[in-house]
Amino acid sequence: MARLFGTDGVRGVANADLTAELALGLSVSAARVLGDAGAFEGHRPRAVVGRDPRASGEFLEAAVVAGLASAGVDVLRVGVLPTPAVAFLTAELDADLGVMLSASHNPAPDNGIKFFARGGHKLADEVEDAIERDYRGLAAEEHAGWRRPTGAGVGRVREHGEGFDAYVDHLVGCLPNRLDGLRVVVDAAHGAAHQVSPEAFRRAGAEVITIGVEPDGLNINDGCGSTHLDLLREAVVANGADLGVAHDGDADRCLAVDATGAEVDGDQILAVLAVAMREAGTLREDTVVATVMSNLGFKLAMEASGIRVVQTAVGDRYVLEAMKRDGYALGGEQSGHVVLLDHATTGDGTLTGLMLAARMAAVKQPLAELAAVMTRLPQVLINVRDVDRTRATTDARVATAVREAEDELGASGRVLLRPSGTEPVVRVMVEAAEGDQAHAVAQRLADEVKAALG
């Protein structure tokens, strides 16, 4: 039986994979599991529930709220806010649980449910597993004897409109300096940050131009945001802006473009912030956490700046786990998930954009100059489909092909071969000093993977 929880909560096509019944049942089970673990002991439990603007979020939110309240949890509905805002408010309001309804950068028909524990941290894998087991037990009526609360024991539901200002004030309060004099274009992807991000930049002193701030429930991520940068490039150049920032649907990531319209990806943003934090003495252990997919140019640039790089598996949850375990302050992914652990418990796209702008304002340098701290090596990624991904790391023929590719590239390149966690795909990534070489080696290696595992 397929696991409901993926690397970032439960996600699927709303009203097909992710139904109201599933949302309600998982919410009941989350309350039961946390309650049985003693998380609610000695007080009346409380949860924060937020969502992005997807049309399906309206009925899924109602289902989640109903499930929590029926299990005896009081609910604070914070409305349409980014995922990191829900995490922040879960901690700020001393809630026992946070729930965010969003499918991040996915198209409008999809949706998802993400749970946060007390303090605004993602649930541990074992807690998610326990929730899933409990849900399946409830669905099979194995818990038919469970005594649902009645009377004063049922949860109460109220709106919490103060969350918007509290979160924006928090974001602006994190900045080391103001953004006066900067002209910024914000692309909110018609998503959860369509009000938060422009307002935060304005309060911090920037002149703000907006695109992607008119959600209608169906246009989220549609040709805009961090997965579609063309509109942002055009707007930055047309308006003579210093910086453009783009979020995804739930605004836990941020990509940027400089004044010329050139993309500044997550690796470059991470490099700029790492150097700034090292100079300020806030980069603990002079270390930054990144994934194995980060460009080799990032690692070389950090070494040249006296900064150590700790690498993890792909996924912001693995970056966060390493940061929390070893006490590091900064980590992130090439996709634009950046975690500033002194200020946030998860990736926060608006905070990332603000910090990037603050660095520009502080040193009075254009983003292109700051991003030049690292040189992106040509990177080619090929997804080899319809192969036996389970043998990707053990097949002798594949291992030989990888060794030969690494020998050819030497110290100026890199090979990464990894099976997908969700589909019959093996991902082949090659970096080299020259683009032609990267393409040639990647294609040759992909052909070998297809021949060996197909």
Are the C-beta atoms of residues 245 and 256 closer than 8 Å to each other? yes
Strand, helix or coil at 10?
strand
Last residue of a domain, one of 161, 179, 205: 161
Q: List the one residue out of 273, 249, 269 whose CA is nearest residue 257.
A: 269
* Residue 104, marked binder: yes
Residues 119 and 268 in one domain: no
Distance CA(183)–CA(251), nearest Å, equals 20
Residues 34 and 145 in one domain: yes
Last residue of a domain, one of 132, 161, 190: 161
Burial of residue 430, with CB atoms counted within 10 A of its CB: 0-12 exposed, 13-18 middle, 19 or more buried: buried
Res 142: pLDDT: 59
Distance CA(87)–CA(120), nearest Å, equals 4
Q: What CATH number should be reported for the domain holding residue 109?
A: 3.40.120.10
Are the C-beta atoms of residues 195 and 164 closer than 8 Å to each other? yes
* Residue 248, marked binder: yes
Res 421: pLDDT: 67
Residue 181 lies in a domain: yes
Res 146: pLDDT: 72
**Main-chain phi, psi angles of 307, to 5 degrees:** -115, 130
End-to-end CA distance of the chain: 25
Residues 320 and 340 in one domain: yes
pLDDT tens track for 406-454:
999 988 889 999 887 667 789 999 999 899 999 999 999 999 999 999 8
Res 38: pLDDT: 87
pTM of the model: 0.92
* Residue 96, marked binder: no
Residues 118 and 224 in one domain: no
Residue count (the chain): 454
Establish whether 104 is a catalytic residue. yes
Distance CA(347)–CA(341), nearest Å, equals 9
C-alpha distances (whole Å) from 80 to each of 50, 254, 356 are 6, 18, 25
Q: Which residues of the chain have pLDDT under 50?
A: none
Catalytic residue among 27, 56, 102, 104: 104
Res 267: pLDDT: 97
Residues 292 and 404 in one domain: no
* Residue 252, marked binder: yes
Last residue of a domain, one of 161, 182, 207: 161
Distance CA(98)–CA(96), nearest Å, equals 7
Are the C-beta atoms of residues 212 and 191 closer than 8 Å to each other? yes
b vs e for 98-107, b when ≥16 Cβ sit within 10 Å of the residue's Cβ?
bbbbbbbbbe
Domain interval for residue 389:
379-453
